Amino acid sequence: MCVSCQEIYCVDHLTFAGVEMKIFGNRYVVVGTPREGGMSEVYPGIDTKQAGKKVAVKLFTRGKFEDDILHEAYDREIRALKGLKHPNIVELLDFGKDDASGSEFLVLGVCRG
């Protein structure tokens, strides 16, 4: 429940059931605790422009490595995923740079398993 207005889902205060939401690329809403790796964090998310389609938002984490190393990893992953199409490989749906945080992100299809 939103502590400001007491609503369960609150767009004005970016909360859902008391959990603060983050929005990347003015489109992808993420809620909850990310899975963390060496250079990135992966959040469960929802595409607000695709009728609530479930996605995974991979945020390249600033501060863990130099910016040029992170940017190179980001570019390489985009190039690799753009060329791959297979039922057992996650699909690259979108990518960009978040205006609010300045962090680069990938939006991937959701893995079942």
Query: Is 8 among the domain residues?
Result: no
Q: What is the 3-state secondary structure (H, E, C) of the chain?
A: CCCCCCCCEECCCCEECCEEEEEECCCEEEECCCEECCCEEEEEEEECCCCCEEEEEEEECCCCCCHHHHHHHHHHHHHHHHCCCCCCCCCEEEEEECCCCCCEEEEECCCCC
The pLDDT of residue 14 is above 60: no
Query: Is 99 among the domain residues?
Result: yes
The pLDDT of residue 33 is above 60: yes
Total number of domains constituting the chain = 1
pTM exceeds 0.85, yes or no: no
CATH of the domain at 60: 3.30.200.20
Query: Is 34 among the domain residues?
Result: yes
Query: Is 4 among the domain residues?
Result: no
- Rounded mean pLDDT of 88-112? 87
- The range of the structural domain enclosing residue 96 comes to 23-108
The pLDDT of residue 12 is above 80: no
